[in-house]
Every structure is written in C-alpha cells, then in structure tokens.
Amino acid sequence: MTARRVALVAGAGFYVGPDLARLLASRGHDLVLGDARPDLVAEVEALGASVEVVDGCRDLSVPGAAQRLVDGGLARFGRIDSATAFTGAIVTGRFMRSSADDYRTVMEGCMIAPYEFLKAALVPMIDQQDGQVLVITSASAARATPGAPLYSSARAGATHLVRNVADEVARHRVQVNAVGTNFMDFPEFRRANNADDPAVRAKLEAMVPLGRLGTMEEFAHFCAPYVDGTSRFTTGQYTSYAGGWA
C-alpha cells in the first residue's frame, strides 16, 4: 500500500490556504495546516485526510514560526512531501512619500518571511532527497507597479530568492517554484483597493485583460501541480497569475 503524501500549507486560514487544503485532501494527501479553522479541519478530515494543525504561525517572519510548522508535521507524519506558503502584506503608496522604515516593514513580510519558510521546509526534504516547495509572491514582482513600488520590489526579491534556492537544492531532487498573483478576489486585496465599491471594482476589472478578478478556487487548482507530486520536472520557475496583467 502506497503511503499518503504529506502536504504542509502555511496560513491555511486565509487566502488560497483553505481551497488548496481541500484540493490536496481530495487528492489523497495528509495535511499540516497553519492556523486552520475547525470547520476546515472537519471538512478535509471528511475527505480522508489526517490533519496536524499548528496554531500561532501565520506571520512567518516571526523567528521560529515556520520551524514550528515543520516540526509539527514531522512529529505527526515523519516526513513532509510538499510545502506552500503565502507571505507578505499589501502595502501601497508612492516612493517619494515613503520612508526607510516603510521599506523595512515591507522587507520583513515579503523577504524575511519566505526566507524563514524556505530554510525550515527544505531541511527535511533535502534529508529525504525529495520534495516540492511553492512560494506565492506577487505578479507585481514582474513589472513596475505604480502606487506600490516598495511592495513590488520586495516581491521581486522574494521571487529571485526562489530561483537561487531552487538552483542550490535541485541536486537533492527538491523542486522550488514561485507563483505571483494580482487582481485576486480576496478580502485583503479588496480592502487595499476599495474594491467592495462596485464602481471601483469595475475600474479594477477593466485593468485585467481577462476582465475580472481571479478566484481562490481556481488559483488552488493552478497551484496544485507544483505541490501534489504530479509534475516533477520543473524547478526555479516563476509564473504570474493575474489574468494577463503580467
């Protein structure tokens, strides 16, 4: 009998985390979930998954948070086959009105957090000579982004960190990739852009070549091949998921 794969989803209580957890459970994975709600846990358990929940680790820039997630998964299952994290916070404002403290704040969430996550997640994968890591950054990393220059540049740094790390660990048969989003229909994006105002939302959607905001459910399906074991011959790649905007 083939052992079930074990997938770690950091931040399982927000963004794509819940949808990705559901999808991976439906594809035969056991799960390590960061800060998952009880209703999500019950839902994925009903799909057949065994679940280890690690609370208090949503901010992966906090020293030890990512390591606690990994340690929880190893203690429960003995291995981690894939790990996914979404880090950072949407920060807007013009460069000439910014401060160095603003940039330090952005760097903490957009660079330090993925650094901590990668350092923790890769150790067991290197030891077992197998694994998949997906870091979700931002499509703003792929182009100049008026109104969010600090955020965009920090996201670009995270994306390039992924490329460098992927090159380093490929000899251990570990994949590391990045996906960057923009124009996604989730509360933080809508709040930052006042998109719950129908007129504002219409203007935002007009900026997207596909003419709408992306959903979490479809994004989970896009992420899945990077972490479900079905696609094992790509690493060090970045892909924008932004409806053609980048």
Could you read off the pLDDT of 155-166 as tens digits, one per residue? 999 999 999 999
What pTM was estimated for this model as a whole? 0.95
Instruction: Write phi, then psi, for 40 (nearest 5 degrees).
Output: -65, -40
Overall average pLDDT of the 115-126 stretch: 98
pLDDT band at 1 (very low <50, low <70, confident <90, very high): very low
Burial of residue 164, with CB atoms counted within 10 A of its CB: 0-12 exposed, 13-18 middle, 19 or more buried: exposed
Overall average pLDDT of the 98-126 stretch: 96
Reading across the β-sheet that carries 174-181, which strands appear in turn?
51-54, 29-34, 5-9, 82-86, 131-138, 174-181, 238-241
Whole-number average pLDDT of the chain: 95
Residue 205: pLDDT over 80: yes
Question: 125, 133 in Cβ contact below 8 A?
Answer: yes
Overall average pLDDT of the 93-114 stretch: 94
**Between residues 181 and 146, the one the model is more confident about:** 181
- For 41-77, the pLDDT digits (tens) are 999 999 999 999 999 999 999 999 999 999 999 999 9
Find residue 133's DSSP bridge partners: 83, 176
Question: 186, 15 in Cβ contact below 8 A?
Answer: yes
Overall average pLDDT of the 97-123 stretch: 96
> Which domains are delineated in the chain?
5-183+216-239 (3.40.50.720)
The one-character DSSP state at 214 is B
Residues in the chain: 246
Overall average pLDDT of the 210-238 stretch: 97
| The pLDDT value given to residue 2 | 56
Find residue 181's DSSP bridge partners: 138, 241
Residue 105: pLDDT over 70: yes
